[in-house]
Amino acid sequence: MSSDLVYAAKHAKGFMPHEEGTALFEAACRYGKLGPICEIGTYCGKSAIYLGAAARHAGSVVITVDHHRGSEEIQPGWAHHDPTLVDPRFGKMDSLPTFRNTIAAAGLEDEVIAIVGSSERVAGLWRAPLGMLFIDGGHSEEPVTRDYEGWAPHVVEGGALVFHDVYPDPADGGQAPYRVYLRALESGAFTEVSALGSVRVLERVGPGI
């Protein structure tokens, strides 16, 4: 990544550690050559900078899907709540303006395309094959499962399915992404090719999702 994009990613609002973002960038550089990169869970655009930088390198594009009303863990009363992202007109979370500013400031508006809507509804309309899918939306059982079931079938053979916040030890974090990651491996459709921190990169090797 260029130094200006590294700076932008490090200073953007979000939860992606730089080392894990770099692993995401490297995976997207490789698999983005096979087709579009799809991110489920945009938030404020931090990880989209890593993906957008990779898309530029690979000659690809990033589609990032989020309703921008916040997942359960960033709502009022939860540990990751950010009151600056609440729209006072509606009393709801709204990360879309911050995301747009983040991507514009990074100069990645040509590489990163936002779709505003629920992952499940957009997945029901989606038809294009994907070179890489990055699942990083809601982290409880139901949303992670929906994201996997709705989007993983669109990953091309030889493409990648990438999970964030995979914690085998419950003391380190929530278990839903870990359980769905195991499900993907057990399906026989994916095999793990790399792991760094809580990022797991799986490559699609056949049918079976």
Per-residue pLDDT at 122 = 98
Q: And the tokens for 57?
A: 């390198």
| Residue pLDDT, tens place only, 76-108 | 877 788 888 888 898 899 999 999 999 999 999
Per-residue pLDDT at 197 = 96
Beta strands in the chain (DSSP E): 37-40, 62-66, 86-87, 92-93, 112-116, 130-135, 155-163, 190-196, 199-204
Per-residue pLDDT at 30 = 98
Nearest to 95 by CA among 121, 119, 71, 61: 71
What is d(CA 150, CA 152) in angstroms, rounded to the nearest whole number?
A: 6
For residue 45, CA distances in Å to 8, 20, 40 come to 10, 15, 11
What angle (nearest 5°) sits at the alpha carbon of residue 179, between those of residues 174 and 183? 160
Per-residue pLDDT at 70 = 82
pTM: 0.94
Domains of the chain, each with CATH number or no CATH: 1-93+103-137+149-159 (3.40.50.150)
Strands 112-116 and 62-66: parallel
Other beta carbons less than 10 A from residue 75's beta carbon: 14
What is d(CA 191, CA 172) in angstroms, rounded to the nearest whole number?
A: 24
- Dihedral (Cα; 118, 120, 125, 126), 10-degree rounding: 100
Q: Are 38 and 59 in contact (CB under 8 A)?
A: no
Q: And the tokens for 190?
A: 């994916």
Per-residue pLDDT at 55 = 98
What is d(CA 96, CA 200) in angstroms, rounded to the nearest whole number?
A: 27
Q: And the tokens for 191?
A: 């095999």
Per-residue pLDDT at 82 = 86
Q: Could you list the active site residues?
A: 139
Q: Give the three-state DSSP class for 80.
A: coil
Q: And the tokens for 126?
A: 């989606």
Per-residue pLDDT at 174 = 87
Q: What percent of the chain has pLDDT over 90?
A: 86
Residues 6+ apart with CB under 8 A from 94: 68, 69, 85, 86, 87
State the average pLDDT over residues 127-137.
97
| Residue pLDDT, tens place only, 21-71 | 999 999 999 999 999 999 999 999 999 999 999 999 999 999 999 999 988
| Residue pLDDT, tens place only, 135-180 | 999 889 999 999 999 999 999 999 999 999 999 999 998 899 999 9
